[in-house]
Amino acid sequence: MARIVMKFGGTSMAGTERIRRVANIVRKQAARGHEVAVVVSAMAGETDRLVNFCREANALYDPAEYDVVVASGEQVTSGLLALTLQSLGCKARSWLGWQLPIRTIEAHAKARIEEIDAQALVASMQAGEIAVIPGFQGCGSDGRVTTLGRGGSDTSAVAVAAAIKADRCDIYTDVDGVYTTDPRIVAKARKQKAVTYEEMLELASVGAKVLQTRSVGLAMKEGVRVQVLSSFVGEDAVPADEHPGTMIVSEEEMNELVEKGDMERQHVTGIAHDKNEAKVILTRVPDKPGAVAHIFEPLAAASINVDMIIQNVGRDKGETDVTFTVPQADLARAQA
Ligand code: ADP
Ligand code: ASP
Ligand code: MG
């Protein structure tokens, strides 16, 4: 018997029929005697829809109210999955972020998890109840709902796995593992049996959205065993316990796999891309000490992540151009 976290992404949760398929995968793991906590995303497209509502309501939206709106997608799917599991004869209940609670810092829309009180959760799992947890959401110290940034349900799953000392965190998605590049774009991409935490961290941070970057960093820090695998499988699929997906492993484990001949030593693990970056160019910035700080300090204060920065040679004496990138979603606030 093992203690397992199973996370299902948006495509896996898109509609009641798919939720029934997910419920069956969960039921099978529980039937093997495992203690199971499930972390779910909102239905595919739902978070985008909710974000658009916020933008329509107020382009310079207050991140705290944005969180109230966008966290609702996962509340719906967690309740629906608990209901579906119950209809299959399983004991199941949902645990919202504030109920556990999943405590985060108050940086709305990009909160970081500080701690999860897992006592009640573990007690209920030990009593044979399947726990269903909405991903992406947490609770600030002021009691207000927070969200963890886009793709944050992966991080919720890894954080729950660390808090309950799970044997494994299985991330079920719409591809059957981590590939050398996005298999939806490059048909020749190859599935990897294992990838190290460091390699996955690098790939995720430059755009391989199969795992949220922060989830990989957290898994590495907490030593959580993560597997990426598909929820779109038939009844006769190899059980997750036999590692049919891609395992995220430590450097030592990877060396062992290479020595056993299970993996080839690779010089390039993968290629990633990111289309959600916006480029901002400020022209004619005074070329003197402190000028650049005047640009980046307010961005940092607004919790806007600046990724690449280039300072160009100015056209006129004493002036320079500064170019930087921010997430597309933060562009309006960065401009303001
Ligand atoms: P979920 O909704 O389950 O969280 P995501 O859409 O966030 O799923 O992540 C899965 C997607 O990541 C895949 O459909 C695929 O297009 C994309 N992807 C990008 N790079 C890779 C990669 N190297 N390996 C596998 N999938 C990748
Ligand atoms: N629903 C959120 C998003 O679309 C979180 C997630 O799915 O991981 O970003
Ligand atoms: Mg995702």
168-194 residue pLDDT tens: 999 999 999 999 999 999 999 999 999
Grade residue 245 by pLDDT with cuts at 50, 70 and 90: very high
Residue 40 alpha carbon to ligand 2 centre in Å: 9
Same fold, 3-259 and 277-335: no
| Ligand 1, CB within 6 Å, residue ranges | 9-11, 41, 151, 173-175, 178-179, 181-184, 208-210, 270, 272
Atom of ligand 1 minimally distant from the CA of 270 = 23
What is the dihedral sign for C-alpha 25, 27, 29, 32?
A: negative
Residue 84's nearest CA partner among 20, 30, 142 is 20
Grade residue 309 by pLDDT with cuts at 50, 70 and 90: very high
Q: Nearest residue CA, atom 9 of ligand 1?
A: 210
pTM: 0.90
Confidence at residue 288, expressed as pLDDT on a 0 to 100 scale: 87
The predicted-structure confidence for 121-136, as pLDDT tens digits, reads as follows 999 999 999 999 999 9
Cis (ω within 30 of 0) for the bond into 134?
no
Confidence at residue 130, expressed as pLDDT on a 0 to 100 scale: 98
- Say if CB 173 and CB 22 are below 8 A apart: no
Domain coordinates in residue numbering, the chain:
3-259, 277-335
Q: Which ligand is nearest to the CA of 135?
A: 2
User: Does 292 score more than 90 pLDDT?
Assistant: no
277-335 has which fold? Alpha-Beta Plaits (3.30.70)
The residue whose CB lies within 8 Å of the most ligand 2 atoms, and thus the one to mutate among 7, 75, 136, 213, is 136
- Say if CB 5 and CB 160 are below 8 A apart: yes
User: Does 303 score more than 90 pLDDT?
Assistant: no
Confidence at residue 85, expressed as pLDDT on a 0 to 100 scale: 98
- Say if CB 181 and CB 17 are below 8 A apart: no
The predicted-structure confidence for 67-93, as pLDDT tens digits, reads as follows 999 999 999 999 999 999 999 999 999
* CATH architecture for residues 3-259: 3-Layer(aba) Sandwich (3.40)
